[in-house]
Amino acid sequence: MTGLSRRGEAVATVALAAIAFIIVTGETLPIGLIAQMSDSLGVTESRIGLTVSAYALIAAASAIPLTRWSSRFDRRQVLLASAAVFGVGHLLAAAAPDVLTLALGRGLAALGHGVYFAVAAPAAMRLARPEVRGRAGARVMVGGSVALVIGTPLATLLGQVTSWRIAMLAVGVVAVALGVLVARLMPAMPGASVRGGGGSVLSTVRLPGVLAIQGVVLFAVTGQFTLYTFIAPYVEQRFGVTGTGLTILLLAYGAAAVVGATLAGRVADIKPITGVRVAAATFTIALAGLWMAGAFETGIAGLPMVVIWGGAFSVLNVCVALAVLRRAPGPRAETANAFTGIVFQAGIVTGSALGAVANDAGLLATVPLFTAAAGVVVLAITLLRGNAFAPAEVEPIEELTPVEVGVDLPRV
């Protein structure tokens, strides 16, 4: 038992998801305000864009070493510290007199990003009852998904109405406040010491099924971002969708992704193998259908495929992430989660690069077919190694007893 009521568990995991929401919002904030920021700091838009790339690199590079170093500490403290570091980084960025200070603030924020996403989902699952652990972990992931649909546009709007500095300031203040709230809501959650190297990267990757899961992550994300990065020019070329129509389409895509992430938590608890296979098949079929519709320039058939694609990828993404956590409990869960984040970032970089090459070569029309081919590989892995997505026969996730509750929890 965690010492929390069922409602308390839900509130705590929603708070964890809210931090995920604000972190992803902060990560992508410069994208919508890049022109304003470059004018304000007197540099080119490309230099502002480099702060986004540097953020991703630092977050990926620091995730595993910082997660392993912090494994001995109470997870409440780690979650609070990571949210606080992220928030303070954005406060520094908001006050930046030049692009170097902006980069330093963003770099500091990135140090909190990787650790938070490595620790938050496993912590949410430790809080929850065994039968709903998948749903609890999924809530954290939904927070990040919602940020891409709602958080980034809202931050952009705030920056346009006020200034980019106010938007940065708001992200920083909210992140710190949510970190304090989570520390108040959660019971004591002792870190697990690494025994005999059991939480090392190599030993974690060698756990049964983990490499198969990482293969799914790499192929799915690479295929996904090969097309998603250039979805705007693709639908304009193939279906003539621009302006308001494109905004509506992306909102529908995002809404499907949020619904998919929400449902995936339930699917992962009940039918994890079937869920990941159906998601992989749906992903593949939707992309093949989109390619065919694009070839005939039939928007009435192609645009619904975009929405189905969004929902299918979201289900696949959450099911795979939860599979990692099931295969690697305790300190391994956090190491595995951090490693998955690195593989995910590698897929984004690779996919975006492939999409750029195809676009420059005038082959954008064929990109959905490539993404569908990546889906075929993913489906093959799930069919051949379906046991990787089943609950593992390993030590259970550590339960917390009421004695471990080290703070007076508010009534919720």
**For residue range 172-185, what is the model confidence (pLDDT) as tens digits?**
999 999 999 988 88
Q: What is the CATH number of the domain that holds 166?
A: 1.20.1250.20
- Is the same domain home to 218 and 159? no
**Residue 109 and residue 115: Cα distance in Å, rounded?**
11
> Can you read off the two tokens belonging to residue 351?
């996919």
pLDDT at res. 407: 36
Predicted pLDDT of residue 191 = 67
State both tokens at 247.
């905004």
Q: Within a domain: residue 394?
A: no
Residues 299 and 187 in one domain: no
Query: Does residue 412 lie within any of the structural domains?
Result: no
Question: Do 166 and 290 belong together in one domain?
Answer: no
DSSP conformation class of 400: -
Per-residue pLDDT reduced to its tens digit, 262-320: 788 778 778 889 999 999 999 999 999 999 999 998 889 999 999 999 899 989 988 88
Whole-angstrom distance, CA of residue 191 vs CA of residue 169: 32
Could you tell me if residue 24 is inside a domain? yes
301 Cβ neighbours under 8 A, 6+ residues apart: 289, 292, 293
User: Domains in the chain: how many in total?
Assistant: 2
125 and 217 in a single domain? The answer is no
Residues 215 and 349 placed together within one structural domain of the fold: yes
Residue 79 lies in a domain: yes
Please check whether residue 125 lies inside any domain of the structure: yes
Same-domain check for residues 274 and 342: yes
- Cα–Cα distances in angstroms (integers) from residue 383 to residues 77, 212, 276, 376, 404, in the given order: 40, 11, 9, 10, 42
Specify whether the CB–CB gap between 183 and 123 falls below 8 A.
no
CA distance 151 to 147: 4
Q: pLDDT above 70 covers what percent of the chain?
A: 88
Looking at the fold, whether 174 and 231 belong to one and the same domain comes out as no
Question: Is 282 within a domain?
Answer: yes
Do residue 162 and residue 29 come from a single domain? yes
pLDDT of residue 200: 66
Cβ neighbours for 77, distance < 8 A, ≥ 6 positions apart: 183
Residues 189 and 213 in one domain: no
- Please indicate, yes or no, whether residues 258 and 134 belong to a single structural domain of this protein: no
Q: Could you give the CA distance from residue 189 to residue 380 in angstroms, rounded to a whole number?
A: 39
Q: Which domain holds residue 220?
A: 208-389
Which residues, 6 or more positions from 69, have their beta carbon under 8 angstroms from its beta carbon? none
How much is the pTM?
Answer: 0.73
Section 83-112 average pLDDT: 95
Q: SS3 breakdown of the chain: % helix, strand, coil, rounded to 5?
A: 80, 0, 20
What pLDDT does residue 130 have?
A: 65
Residue 141 located in a structural domain: yes
Same domain for 188 and 217?
no
Summarised one tens digit per residue, pLDDT across range 201-234 is 777 777 888 899 999 999 999 999 888 878 878 9
- In this prediction, residue 392 has a pLDDT band, given cuts at 50, 70 and 90, of low
Does pLDDT of 378 surpass 90? yes
The number of residues in the chain equals 412
In a domain, 410, yes or no: no
Same domain, 166 and 229: no
395 backbone dihedrals φ, ψ, rounded to 5°: -55, 140
Q: How many helices (H) and strands (E) does the chain have?
A: 16, 0
Tell me the CB-side half-sphere exposure of residue 8, using CA atoms within 13 A: 16
Gap between the Cα atoms of 260 and 51, Å rounded = 31
| Percentage above 90 pLDDT, the chain | 34
Query: Token pair for residue 340?
Result: 């998955």
The conformation of residue 397, written as its DSSP 8-state character, comes to P
